[in-house]
Amino acid sequence: MAGLMNLLDESHVLCRSTAQSQKNIFELVARGIAATHGELDEQFLFKKFLAREKLGSTGLGEGVAVPHSRIEGLEYPIAYLLTLAEPAPYDAPDNQDVDILFALLVPEESTQLHLDLLSEIATMLSDSAYCERLRGATDQGELLALAKHSLAA
């Protein structure tokens, strides 16, 4: 999981944010990514997340979602970890609201990398005790440390 660990730093985590809807969540993630990757437009990313969601929910269940998209012209993968102070509606398969989101963007042509990173994220977030620790993080530094600790394991 070393590759995934290298994708996160404090500018790629948002702890205990507020969102009222799935669209609002996508706005937060798109804004966060665009703020640190000036070559990516916030509205473009928002629309990519919405378009991917129309293909099927990226909710994993148990309050966890992994919105993701392949982006033409992107040169490297980008990850963004977000926790919410209160769960928000997401249209997840188990009908539960979500409060942990691990967003992923990968280059359009990186199909295998995309699948590998999604698998790593899903494995990491399938550990309910680990998710509870993420939910307990009170700031971005703590959230990042928890994420990196799990990813290094």
User: Which of 37, 68, 114, 149 is labelled catalytic?
Assistant: 68
Measured distance CA(60)–CA(70) in Å, rounded: 19
37 tagged catalytic: no
Which uninterrupted H or E stretch holds 17?
A: strand 13-17
CA 70 to chain centre: 14
Report the greatest alpha carbon distance in the chain.
37
Measured distance CA(106)–CA(121) in Å, rounded: 14
Active site residues: 68
